[in-house]
Amino acid sequence: MCDGESILKKTSGRSAEQEPAVLDPGELGAFVDGFLQRRDVFLQTSRQHGSPLYVIEEDVLRERAARFTKTFRGVLPDVRVYYAMKSNNHPAIARTLVQAGLGLDVSSGLELRVALDSGAKDIVFSGPGKTDEELNLAIENRDRATLLIDSFGELQRLGGLAAKKGASIRAGVRLTTHDGLWRKFGIPLAELPRFLNVAAGSDCVCIRGLQFHTSWNLDPGKQVEFIARLGNTLSKMTPDQRAMIEFIDIGGGFWPAQGEWLQSAGTAESRTADAVMPRSVPALCHYNHPATTIEDFADDIALAVRTHLFPHVSCRICAEPGRWLCNDAMHLLLTVVDKKAEDLVITDAGTNAIGWERFETDYFPVINLSRPGRTERKCFVLGSLCTPHDVWGYAYWGEGIQPGDVLLIPTQGAYTYSLRQEFIKPLPAVVAITGPTAIRGLMT
Ligand SMILES: Cc1ncc(COP(=O)(O)O)c(C=O)c1O
């Protein structure tokens, strides 16, 4: 199975030793209740379109986009928000967010083509190892795309390709934030003045900004720390170099405020082989790494920007949220196909629909919409793939569980749909819900 998300997790910079708190049962109950109150629309969606399904909630996307933008614009003078398409690459999500006024952040030629088709007028393209074909696509669409250059080598190739087309392209440069494997992204901060000097010699590449990205931020600590280091570098640059900077892009990595929910298997005290592949259904213990609200992220980042950056440059601040925007805007609907024991059911979908073994360690409630109940009951809820790692959860919320029951796994919008893979079972179809009740129909 694809390990993309686990790789993000292991390299996030969050200390794996930092133990989570127990997830507040009141908070969890209220979360489940919110979905039970709308069970009719989900059941109707399943009846109308079959099972399994990905369900997109466009209103949630619009609300998130408006709140993120308003929050950052409330504390900084000039802000532009770009949705990071990698977090959920369904074209309808990009289209909805573009219509809500956001730009798009893409990381490949493939994503750039989808972004162009979505009607986006303002696109940033970052990522290591861009091919000549990808650079050419960005050059051809330079009226809509800003290229965030990843290395000195890429600067040289871009200059050569743009010169061949007689074009001049607006660009920025990505800065490395961490050591180790994160060195694959961008150039070291200490190299920034030299990079700007080299770029100033090109007629075809116009450097107008800087970008960095830190991942898996439960609070703004890493962002604030890098902004302080960047301010220190800017303070030592020449006025000409500083004058080139029209934007600073602080990347994404904002964690949704509900925090990171884990099963007991994801915690240090139970990190054993049996916890990851339990023989019997594990205890119902859920944990939470709490996260900061977006308002607090914005306040702390704005203070850091004013303290460390604005004394040296007067520029726009850009952000590239992915997870924060799309996490709550997509859910999974499944159906129980087989009940093999009181504590063991098999569903019609496998976790190839989300592309990785997420629920062995991450916790999300499995809600039985067909037999609604406010009690969580222990049960292996497993998918239909030929691997025992195919786990949806170790419990369900409801009054019993039987073949034919429709299950909801809520808030699966981030780094699941993008990581889906063709493996044994067909992928679920995609349906959109607009407003609390209206089902818009199949989108694939
Ligand atoms: C450059 C860049 N920007 C933005 C994001 C989005 O991050 P998140 O979805 O955590 O907000 C990523 C994720 O990997 C990224 O690499």
Please write the tens of the pLDDT for every residue from 359-397. Answer: 988 999 999 999 999 999 999 999 999 999 999 999 999
Distance between Cα 111 and ligand 1 center (Å): 14
Length of the chain: 444
Quick one: what percent of the chain has pLDDT higher than 90?
86
Interval 158-186: pLDDT, tens: 999 999 999 999 999 999 999 999 999 99
For 257, list phi and psi in degrees, rounded to 5.
Answer: -65, -20
What radius of gyration, in Å, describes the C-alpha atoms of the chain?
23
Lowest mean pLDDT among 139-143, 265-269, 413-417: 265-269
Higher pLDDT, residue 219 or 437: 219
d(CA 425, CA 16): 33
Q: Whose CA is nearest to atom 12 of ligand 1?
A: 252
Sign of CA dihedral 151, 98, 100, 290: negative
pLDDT at site 111: 98
Residue 328 near ligand 1, beta carbon < 6 Å: no
Residue 405 near ligand 1, beta carbon < 6 Å: no
Query: For the residues of 279-299, what is the DSSP string, one character each?
Result: SSPPP--EEEE----HHHHHH
Quick one: what percent of the chain has pLDDT higher than 70?
91
d(CA 426, CA 421): 9
The residue-averaged pLDDT of 301-320 equals 98
The residue-averaged pLDDT of 93-118 equals 98
Interval 401-421: pLDDT, tens: 999 999 999 999 999 999 999
pLDDT of 70 strictly over 80 = yes
From 150, 320, 324, mutation site for ligand 1 pocket: most ligand atoms within 8 A of C-beta:
320
- Contact criterion met (CB below 8 Å) for 199 and 207: yes
pLDDT at site 273: 55
From 83, 86, 181, mutation site for ligand 1 pocket: most ligand atoms within 8 A of C-beta:
86
pLDDT at site 439: 63
Distance between Cα 332 and ligand 1 center (Å): 23
16: tokens are 């794996």
What is the DSSP secondary structure assignment for residue 217, as one 8-state letter? B
Mean pLDDT, the chain, as a whole number? Answer: 92
Residue 323 near ligand 1, beta carbon < 6 Å: yes
DSSP β-ladder status, 286-289 and 260-263: antiparallel
d(CA 223, CA 317): 13
pLDDT at site 436: 62
Distance between Cα 83 and ligand 1 center (Å): 9
Residue 320 near ligand 1, beta carbon < 6 Å: yes
- Contact criterion met (CB below 8 Å) for 368 and 396: yes
pLDDT at site 278: 79
The residue-averaged pLDDT of 136-163 equals 98
pLDDT of 5 strictly over 90 = no
Residue 251 near ligand 1, beta carbon < 6 Å: yes
For 10, list phi and psi in degrees, rounded to 5.
Answer: -70, -25
Residue 241 near ligand 1, beta carbon < 6 Å: no
Distance between Cα 427 and ligand 1 center (Å): 25
Neighbouring residues of 19: CB distance < 8 A, sequence distance ≥ 6 = 267, 268, 269, 287
d(CA 36, CA 112): 38
pLDDT of 7 strictly over 50 = no
The residue-averaged pLDDT of 71-81 equals 98
Lowest mean pLDDT among 155-164, 174-183, 242-251, 263-272: 263-272
Residue 321 near ligand 1, beta carbon < 6 Å: yes
First to last CA, the chain: 23
The residue-averaged pLDDT of 2-10 equals 40
From 6, 11, 83, 87, mutation site for ligand 1 pocket: most ligand atoms within 8 A of C-beta:
87
Residue 126 near ligand 1, beta carbon < 6 Å: yes
d(CA 119, CA 97): 11
Residue 64 near ligand 1, beta carbon < 6 Å: no
Q: How distant, in Å, are the alpha carbons of 72, 161, 389, 391, 394 from that of 276?
A: 40, 50, 9, 10, 11
Residue 254 near ligand 1, beta carbon < 6 Å: yes
pLDDT at site 13: 42
All domains of the chain, ordered by start, with CATH?
A: 4-57+327-442 (2.40.37.10), 58-264+292-326 (3.20.20.10)
pLDDT at site 30: 97
Residue 352 near ligand 1, beta carbon < 6 Å: no
The residue-averaged pLDDT of 83-91 equals 98
Is 305 buried (19+), middle (13-18) or exposed (0-12) by CB count in 10 A? buried
Residue 266 near ligand 1, beta carbon < 6 Å: no
Residue 211 near ligand 1, beta carbon < 6 Å: no
Residue 215 near ligand 1, beta carbon < 6 Å: yes
pLDDT of 264 strictly over 80 = no
pLDDT at site 15: 43
The residue-averaged pLDDT of 52-56 equals 98
Distance between Cα 312 and ligand 1 center (Å): 26
pLDDT at site 47: 96
